[in-house]
Amino acid sequence: MKLGYDFYHRPCLEVAHDLVGKVLHFRGQSLRITETEAYCGENDTACHAFKGRTPRTEVLYSRAGTAYVYLCYGVHNLLNLVTGEEGEPEAVLIRACEGFPGPGRLTKYLGITRAENRADVTGEGELWVEDDGCICQVVTDRRVGIGYASQEDQDRPWRFLKK
DNA sequence: AAAGTGATCATG
DNA sequence: ATGATCACTTTG
A103 closest-nt by C1' vs CA: C8
A146 closest-nt by C1' vs CA: C7
Separation of CA A53 and C1' B4 in angstroms?
A: 29
DSSP code of residue A89: -
What is the value of pTM for the model shown? 0.95
Letter string b/e over residues A132-162, b meaning 16 or more CB atoms within 10 A of that residue's CB: eeeeeebeeeebeebeebeeebbebebbbbb
A135 contact to strand C (CB, 7 A limit): no
In order along its 163 residues, chain A shows pLDDT tens digits of: 999 999 999 999 999 999 999 999 999 999 999 999 999 999 999 999 999 999 999 999 999 999 999 999 999 999 999 999 999 999 999 999 999 999 999 999 999 999 999 999 999 999 999 999 998 999 999 999 999 999 999 999 999 999 9
**Considering only CA atoms, which of A113, A69, A83 is closest in space to residue A19?**
A83
